[in-house]
Structure 1
Amino acid sequence: MKCPAIFANESERLKALTAYGLDDEQTIRSLDPVVHIASRMFDMPVAAVNMIGSDHVFFAASVGVGEVDMSRDVSFCAHAINQTDVMVVADATQDDRFHDNPLVTGPSHVRFYAGVPLFSPEGLALGALCVLDDRPHPEFSKDDCKRLAELAKMAADRLELRRIEISSERSRPKFEEYAGNSATPVVWFDEQGKIIEWNQAAASAHGYELSDKESLSFEQLLVESERSDFRQLIQGAVATGSLDQLTIPSELTGLRKSGSEFHFGFALFGWHDGNQMKFEAVLRDRSAKEREEQELRQQANLDTLTGLANRGKFYRSVEEVLIKATPAAVVMIDLDGFKDVNDTLGHTLGDGILQEVARRLSALAESYDVVARIGGDEFAVLLVDVTDSQIALQLANTMIAHIAQPIDVDGHMVRVGASCGVALAPTQAQEALELVSNADLALFKAKRSGRSQACLFLPALRMEAMARRLYGLELHRAVDEGEFLLFYQPQINLTDGSLTGAEALIRWHHPDRGLLVPANFLSALEGGPLAATVGSWVLDEACAQAAYWRRNGAPAFRMGVNLLGAQFRVGDLYKEVMENLERHGLPPEAIELEVTENIVLDNDEIVLEVLQRLHDAGVGIAFDDFGTGYASLSLLKSYPLTCIKIDQTFVRGMLSSRRDASVIRAILDMARSFDLETIAEGIETEEANRYLMQENCDEGQGYLFGKPMPARQFELLFEIGSAAKSQSKASA
């Protein structure tokens, strides 16, 4: 028998599994329809959603399963999660992996298996949706595989809803913070009914002292005639793991310590704390019933800071609209630069900004739309009856424009930007989770495109997300196995044609896909945990190469190094650069660090402070792709730059487009007025070279002088490094 492989990131996978609040006895009711559909669709006696633990497996939902060996080593699903597509075992007795498996040779008598892995949002394998039979099925077709994969998507959506619910439960505040000083009586108790916590309002309502909780159960707070029904209610919740589908009384009769009775309104909530359920009873006297019910509704549906719908209410609203087959658009909104404002000016001011953004979004929405705050600085809008993508984009841009207006909070004038992602139903999604996920992918694209952008979902974005997830897994291997390397593109003095330096450009020597350029993997790298690590490697490798070339034939060589945004957020970039210069024996001017507008705007204050210190130390600072963004001119004024790199789009068009030529001249004039060096990118012809020389551009870079190339090829072309040594020996 072949045991299933264990993942290299097994600890991360198991940690992700805990986010779903599952255990050996806990099932997810919403998955029951999925396994029943699977059983009927394929005419299989057994179907299950099987979750893979550390050494055992357990069912989140199942139909037709009897007593089986639940160890991971014998599990078919533990094999299925090691691949990305449907795993089909047409006849287990003929399969080398399973022919001697106890599930095949024993009483379970498994002959056929088909399973689809289920993944977390981060791409970690959780378990599988599977169907099984005690007879072979060689006729199980590719179309059957597609249908099973579609059902797996449904199961994954329901698992994600489960994760969201569990996350909300686990973020429950401490009792004292939540209800300790509340005027509303609140009692927390465990599965046995023993009171864990209660507040002064609850104790006083029943005539007890706060400390009396140690000897009381919740049942003792009720009249004798209602205790049995209440006990059955709690037992039913513990048995099913939820209060869903149970009838909870809206009123109960309380019993005071003195023996007197009183009626109180009653609301009951439950949550999981490890393997135990805990309960919260909220009591209210009848005179305040309407007010208390309103407060409870708000807790369940509204964001307390802004008064908008919360995440749960928003998802339910989207589901309700789609169930009615009403066309709609979802706009996901993320505030740009809010964290810096919050950290700099304080959370009170930050709260004021969020409240004002909520007010502006609400003012733009129709009465039947839903505006929600779904995270710290994340908002969402459900636009009902919107069918035209351009109208949806126009509305999103209007939201961006309104948010960008100055905000006055306690006398402080503050500006924040916003990025939006837009997705439409039913053309782009039929289920709520899919629609919101699509809008999230569009938001990710918008934020990568720069500040204050709105992007519409396209199917290619999901493919890109899948590629990022795949590359994210492979990047760990690439770092461990040393699969990254640097190419170098020469930079030339346009006046005399001499070599001034090079730009170090990362490449990935992928074992299966060959040599990959950054366009294939950079988004996955920048969005993952390895960006700072890879950025540090690039800096060290580039400094080492620059030092070698400066000692062997190019004493004034300057190396351009592209920085990643993560390098400003993790560690001390200034210290790292200075240590690299010292380790490799380089003067500060031997390195020119290149930054883009997105890096600057995402971490404005942090980036400015670090770059200023590096500039003061003599390190060159180049602004890459100049002219393509929205804030380029303002950055010239405020940032400590030494060089502007003119984007290749203007260079390639300057000989045929008067506008591009005008842009080139304007950039060169500005650079001279700011006393900055200039490097034109994308020079491919002699004509372009001569034009830029006439316009007094300092340096050039492009295919005319050389494509990005390995270090050895660079040395041979410019007779430096090892090539210079060889030539020296030949001369001797």
Structure 2
Amino acid sequence: MKCPPALPEESERLRALSEYGLSADRPMPSLDPVVRVAARAFNMPISAVNIVGSDHVFFAASTGAELGTLDMRRDVSFCAHAITERGVMVVPDAALDERFQDNPLVTGAASLRFYAGVPLRSSCGHAIGALCVVDTKPRDDFTTEDQDRLRELARLASDRLEVQRLTILAQQNQPHIASMPSHLPAPVICFDEVGTVLALNEAAAELHGYLPADMIGSPVAMLVAGPDQPALQAMLRELLRREKSPAVALERRELRGLRKGGEEFTLELTPFRWQEQGQQRYSATLRDTTERQEHARELRRLNSSDHLTGLANRASLQVSLEQMLAAARSAALVVVGLDGFKALNSALGRAIGDEVLREVARRLRHAVSPADVLARIGGDEFGIVLPDAPSPEHARGVADTLTVRIADPFMVAGHEIRLASSSGIAMGPLHAEDALELIGNAELALAHAKGSGKRRSFVFLPTLRMEAVSHRQFAVDLHRAVENNELRLHFQPQFRLSDGALAGAEALIRWQHPQRGLLSPAAFLPALEAGPLAAIVGEWMLDTACAQARAWRDLAAPDLRIAVNLFQAQFQVGSLAETVIAALTRRSLPAACLELEITENTVLNQDEATLDSLLELQRHGVGIAFDDFGTGHASLSLLKRYPLSRLKIDRSFVQTVMNAGPDANVVRAILDLARSFGLATTAEGIETVAQRDRLREEGCDEGQGYLFGRALPPAEFAEVFLFDRAPPLAALARDRAGSASP
């Protein structure tokens, strides 16, 4: 077991911690909702805000079974390690981590295996503890998105800790009741039991615009404006009422102070009473907090608003929801997301994208009622809280109205902008009694709406949360699948339309699940692409496809071309060009036999390094194809800029190519576009002879689809399409017209 490293600023850290007044027997109830939300959000049995002292740790808040039995020594604490990190510390399996494998928390009755924790920092930057989630079983599905969500919860915990610190300091900073006002630099005034000024220092007189002699003998009430004089008199009566106490210091109050010329200002006044030589003495410290209040208001405005649009921000919206739910008020949350905004931002530039967001904010501001809370809660997402919303249907009606308002075209820097938007809706307390959970549920509904098409709105259903948990389980299973070699490559043939000859094969991933059987990509690809395994699986696909190409070229198809799809993650890890060239070299394959397929949106989401990688691959002779062309947001400038060799026409256009209308025209336009750029073309999803013939007449080079054959395992592919005993390929392509089905 490795003990936590010593922090160089440990003494300063402990001094900062002392300002919070925390101890094992003084937990913070305000942190309880944070740990409960963390446990639910990550499906963890244990969550805690753990405060790290000099030699022990203790919980400021926690949820989970048998926490009281844990060893709380600092030397064995996971959180004592976490506070030494700058970001989130994730331990997928403590039993395999040299820091913790023989830790009593791991080997003992607690049997902790998974840990994720993020430091909680004081206002001066010292780590005083950590927000953590813990499990008794190992987990390798804690994604970067999960880490971001844990950081967000940690910020909420830090805010509540700061409120605790300020409360403690306010209590500790009461004036010393035995101090005489004459030598104090702060404004101090002395008065008798009826409120007549007996003495004051120059600072107090100057604060109100008088000379000291002018104020002696006057009533204390002259310090404050008329409307606040009753409050001042009540404070003085409270001092007198506590006459049995040898000394009394009342809480400081803010009143409207009054200067000699009638000017009002914010006056902080703290009255206190003490005994001196058997006599009662009454004093008050004074402070002009006008500037501080203005500064505080400005800070609150900045901290609660979005700097780009001027709307409230995510934290402010969350606070509004918390207040409504705490008051047992119903509230609907509508989360609006712009469809395709990232592509627009990439194509037109960030400056235009920012202006688009400001225009959307302006439209939403004019569309909602004054009682509604409107906020920008993400890059292209806006949240609207509808207080006392009567039903989900009412909220959906509001969402549909916002969709119409956003859709009106407008001009920005000479560009006509047409936007589509989708909405997710969640009702509190129907769908959640906690603000964070309600926001998460609305965002799950938004994701479902976007997945169903543009301009959709969807009301949260509990099944969405179940699907999210299932998605997380898929991520866990995928790690096992990679370790146990459960992934497979099937190959779908690609034929030349001019003569029916086999031109290539596209490698398509499948999952041979031990319980669910053979899974198609639709079942697991979203989880794979969103997780940390995408780059690893992508490299495996590339190497496996190249190995299969080598085998088939040696046996029966010396000119066969292999197409392999790339994941976005492969552009972000290492050098893609080096990886591809290494795979070709290992199999002694010419670069021309490999074609890499990328989607339009993959290109739009990448940077200059992506272009450099593709240019390097082109120089070596590797083909680059745009997959599903016509369904994304590619522009002509991308076709000019990127080193493409092929456009693949999406199956949605091919299915209706026989119809007179827009889709047939789209196919014709894509083919004309490809010819003008000198690009080859492949049509996907060909199912009938008529479709094949029409595409051949229009000049399409190649096709793939069920007419020619579905994706098959390598041995079956070779049996059907490569070996001599298979029927002639040109005839096969013709004869499959009526026999293949999806």
Q: TM-score, normalised by structure 1?
A: 0.58
Distance of aligned partners of 1:63 and 1:468 in 2 relative to their CA distance in 1, 3 Å threshold: closer
Q: In the alignment, which residue of structure 2 is the partner of 1:524?
A: 527
Q: How far apart in 2 are the matches of 1:440 and 1:623?
A: 31
Distance of aligned partners of 1:32 and 1:703 in 2 relative to their CA distance in 1, 3 Å threshold: closer
Q: How far apart in 2 are the matches of 1:659 and 1:415?
A: 22
**Alignment pair present for 1:433 and 2:436:** yes
Q: 1:673 aligns with which of 658, 673, 676?
A: 676
For 1:407-418, what aligned pairs fall within 5 Å after superposition? Answer: none
**Alignment pair present for 1:397 and 2:403:** yes
Deviation at 1:633, TM superposition (A): 6.3
Q: 1:546 aligns with which of 544, 549, 566?
A: 549
**Alignment pair present for 1:423 and 2:425:** yes
Letter in 2 for 1:541: T
Q: How far apart in 1 are the matches of 2:151 and 2:459?
A: 21
Q: How far apart in 2 are the matches of 1:608 and 1:399?
A: 37
Distance of aligned partners of 1:362 and 1:717 in 2 relative to their CA distance in 1, 3 Å threshold: same
**Alignment pair present for 1:166 and 2:157:** yes
For 1:13-162, what aligned pairs fall within 5 Å after superposition? Answer: 27=27, 29=29, 60=61, 69-70=69-70, 126=134
Q: How far apart in 2 are the matches of 1:188 and 1:372?
A: 32
Letter in 1 for 2:424: V
Q: How far apart in 1 are the matches of 2:523 and 2:472?
A: 12
Q: 1:331 aligns with which of 331, 335, 343?
A: 335
Q: 2:583 aligns with which of 574, 580, 583?
A: 580
Distance of aligned partners of 1:628 and 1:378 in 2 relative to their CA distance in 1, 3 Å threshold: closer
Distance of aligned partners of 1:58 and 1:512 in 2 relative to their CA distance in 1, 3 Å threshold: farther
Q: 2:489, 2:510 within 8 Å by CA — same for their partners in 1? A: yes
Letter in 2 for 1:683: I
Q: In the alignment, which residue of structure 2 is the partner of 1:495?
A: 498
Letter in 1 for 2:334: V
**Alignment pair present for 1:713 and 2:716:** yes
Q: In the alignment, which residue of structure 1 is the partner of 2:467?
A: 464
Q: How far apart in 2 are the matches of 1:26 and 1:720?
A: 78
Q: In the alignment, which residue of structure 2 is the partner of 1:314?
A: 317
Distance of aligned partners of 1:248 and 1:33 in 2 relative to their CA distance in 1, 3 Å threshold: farther
Deviation at 1:468, TM superposition (A): 1.4
Q: How far apart in 2 are the matches of 1:126 and 1:466?
A: 17
Deviation at 1:524, TM superposition (A): 0.9
Deviation at 1:393, TM superposition (A): 4.1
Q: In the alignment, which residue of structure 1 is the partner of 2:518?
A: 515
Deviation at 1:355, TM superposition (A): 6.3
Cα RMSD of the aligned pairs, angstroms, is 5.5
Q: 1:472, 1:525 within 8 Å by CA — same for their partners in 2? A: yes
Q: 2:628, 2:650 within 8 Å by CA — same for their partners in 1? A: yes
1:654-675 superposed Cα distances (whole Å, 9 cap, x missing partner): 3466554444334333333333
Q: How far apart in 2 are the matches of 1:290 and 1:307?
A: 21
Q: How far apart in 1 are the matches of 2:404 and 2:70?
A: 55
Q: In the alignment, which residue of structure 2 is the partner of 1:599?
A: 602
Deviation at 1:425, TM superposition (A): 2.5
For 1:336-351, what aligned pairs fall within 5 Å after superposition? Answer: none
1:176-197 superposed Cα distances (whole Å, 9 cap, x missing partner): xxxxxxxxxx99989999xxxx
1:563-614 superposed Cα distances (whole Å, 9 cap, x missing partner): 1122223332233223323332222221111122332333365544543443
Q: How far apart in 2 are the matches of 1:248 and 1:127?
A: 45
Deviation at 1:415, TM superposition (A): 8.4
Deviation at 1:49, TM superposition (A): 7.4
Q: In the alignment, which residue of structure 1 is the partner of 2:564?
A: 561
Deviation at 1:701, TM superposition (A): 0.9
Q: How far apart in 2 are the matches of 1:686 and 1:540?
A: 35
Q: 1:648, 1:682 within 8 Å by CA — same for their partners in 2? A: yes
Q: 1:336, 1:416 within 8 Å by CA — same for their partners in 2? A: no
Q: How far apart in 2 are the matches of 1:618 and 1:170?
A: 59
Q: 1:423, 1:435 within 8 Å by CA — same for their partners in 2? A: no
- Higher deviation after alignment, 435-444 or 502-511: 435-444
Letter in 1 for 2:500: G
What SS does the corresponding residue of 2:655 show, helix, strand or coil? helix
Q: How far apart in 2 are the matches of 1:190 and 1:721?
A: 90
1:209-254 superposed Cα distances (whole Å, 9 cap, x missing partner): xxxxxxxxxxxxxxxxxxxxxxxxxxxxxxxxxxxxxx974469xx
Deviation at 1:535, TM superposition (A): 1.4
Count of residues in correspondence between the two structures: 530
Q: How far apart in 1 are the matches of 2:529 and 2:427?
A: 30
Q: In the alignment, which residue of structure 2 is the partner of 1:217?
A: none
Q: Which ranges in structure 2 are unaligned for 5 or more consecutive residues?
A: 1-19, 37-44, 51-55, 73-107, 119-131, 137-148, 174-183, 188-249, 256-265, 271-285, 727-742
**Alignment pair present for 1:481 and 2:481:** no
- Percent of aligned pairs with the same residue? 43
- Higher deviation after alignment, 524-533 or 672-681: 672-681
- Higher deviation after alignment, 303-312 or 618-627: 303-312
Q: 2:494, 2:503 within 8 Å by CA — same for their partners in 1? A: yes
Q: How far apart in 2 are the matches of 1:635 and 1:456?
A: 34
Distance of aligned partners of 1:126 and 1:497 in 2 relative to their CA distance in 1, 3 Å threshold: same
1:489-533 superposed Cα distances (whole Å, 9 cap, x missing partner): 111112222211111011112222222111111111111122122
Q: TM-score, normalised by structure 2?
A: 0.58
Q: 1:642 aligns with which of 638, 642, 645?
A: 645
Deviation at 1:374, TM superposition (A): 3.5
Q: In the alignment, which residue of structure 2 is the partner of 1:225?
A: none
Q: 2:28, 2:60 within 8 Å by CA — same for their partners in 1? A: no
What SS does the corresponding residue of 1:423 show, helix, strand or coil? strand
Q: How far apart in 1 are the matches of 2:535 and 2:440?
A: 27
Q: 2:334, 2:442 within 8 Å by CA — same for their partners in 1? A: yes
Deviation at 1:636, TM superposition (A): 4.2
For 1:583-732, what aligned pairs fall within 5 Å after superposition? Answer: 583-603=586-606, 607-631=610-634, 635-636=638-639, 638-655=641-658, 659-719=662-722
Deviation at 1:539, TM superposition (A): 1.6
Distance of aligned partners of 1:393 and 1:543 in 2 relative to their CA distance in 1, 3 Å threshold: farther
Q: 1:330, 1:436 within 8 Å by CA — same for their partners in 2? A: no
Letter in 1 for 2:716: Q
Q: In the alignment, which residue of structure 1 is the partner of 2:191?
A: none
Q: 1:332, 1:439 within 8 Å by CA — same for their partners in 2? A: no
Letter in 2 for 1:562: N
What SS does the corresponding residue of 1:500 show, helix, strand or coil? strand
Q: Which ranges in structure 1 are unaligned for 5 or more consecutive residues?
A: 1-20, 37-47, 73-100, 104-116, 129-157, 173-185, 194-203, 208-246, 253-262, 268-282, 724-732
Letter in 2 for 1:369: D
What SS does the corresponding residue of 1:702 show, helix, strand or coil? coil
Distance of aligned partners of 1:693 and 1:454 in 2 relative to their CA distance in 1, 3 Å threshold: same
Q: 1:51, 1:57 within 8 Å by CA — same for their partners in 2? A: no
Q: How far apart in 1 are the matches of 2:666 and 2:33?
A: 62
Distance of aligned partners of 1:648 and 1:342 in 2 relative to their CA distance in 1, 3 Å threshold: closer
Letter in 2 for 1:331: V
Deviation at 1:560, TM superposition (A): 0.9
Deviation at 1:470, TM superposition (A): 0.9
Q: 2:342, 2:605 within 8 Å by CA — same for their partners in 1? A: no
What SS does the corresponding residue of 2:315 show, helix, strand or coil? helix
